[in-house]
Structures are given as C-alpha cells and as structure tokens.
Amino acid sequence: MTTPDATPTVEELEAQERRLVFEHFTHDDAWALGSLLVATARERRAPVAIDIHRAGQQLFHAALPGSAPDNDAWIARKRRVVERYGSASYLVGARHRAKGTTFEASSRLDPDTYAAHGGSFPITVRGAGVIGAVTVSGLPQLEDHNMVVEALDRFLTDAQAT
C-alpha cells in the first residue's frame, strides 16, 4: 500500500477501483459523499471544487474558498476521461506513463476536452458498472486523487457498517 505522498503503481490504482464499488448510488448518496468531501476539504483548508455526476446529470457541486473557475474546467476535462475510459483519470494517465508516453501524446484526444490528471474517480455500481464520476480539482493531481479515494473509502466503509 502506498503512503499519501508516494506515487501509486498501476496495479495499486486498479486495486482501488476493484475495491471502491457501490451497491447502489442515489441522489442522497451523492449529497452525502459530496458533503463528506466538503468537510474533508474544509478541515484541510483545501482550495478545491468538488463535483459528482451520474448518467450525465450533475448531482453535487461545491466550490470552496480559494478555488477558481479554472477548477470547474479541469473537473469537466478529468470527468470526460472517466466517462470515456471507465477508469480513474489518474489511472488512465499512469497507464500511458507506464508505457513510456503521455496521455496527451498517445490518446489523440483534444487536451482542451480531456485531461488524464488525478482527481476524477468512477462511481461503479455492482452489477451495473461505471455510472458516473466524483471529481476534485484544486490540488496537485495525486492529492486530488487521494482525497477522492479517501472519501470513497470512508463513505463505503460507513455504508457497510450500517
């Protein structure tokens, strides 16, 4: 397992996706997960924007102090990577780096539309697959990614305990 500052391997990132799976994902779940992310960001004084989309609909959005309109543009670009590839934006970028290239050089996708930078993670429902994405923008990409993974881990652990 990686420490918060260590760069995770492709295998570790793939294991996160296998582990962080929902039994269902409702509007109320989006509100609770988004609220958990807001509380975490406020506690850390993180200047982030947070977004949760499901099936093309924005279910949650928050912009904390210090965030900027540019964060919303990054959210959209990272979320599109999740929607297109069905994997975390950081994992998509890591897979390209592991092959000795970059997403921008090898995907042939418009970098103004797609960004394989950390911070967007698929919302996967058991039996349904990827139905949406939860995204954070405003920190270095690994910190964005880790904040989302930590929140998903806490949310799903709490859901299993109830």
Q: Beta partners for 134?
A: 52, 121
The pTM score is 0.94
pLDDT tens column, 33-61: 999 999 999 999 999 999 999 999 999 99
By percentage, how much of the chain surpasses pLDDT 90?
Answer: 94
Helices (H), the chain: 10-19, 27-44, 69-85, 89-98, 103-107, 141-161
pLDDT(2) > 90: no
pLDDT one-digit tens code per residue, 89-126: 999 999 999 999 999 999 999 999 999 999 999 999 99
User: Which 3-state string (H, E, C) describes 64-77?
Assistant: CCCCCHHHHHHHHH
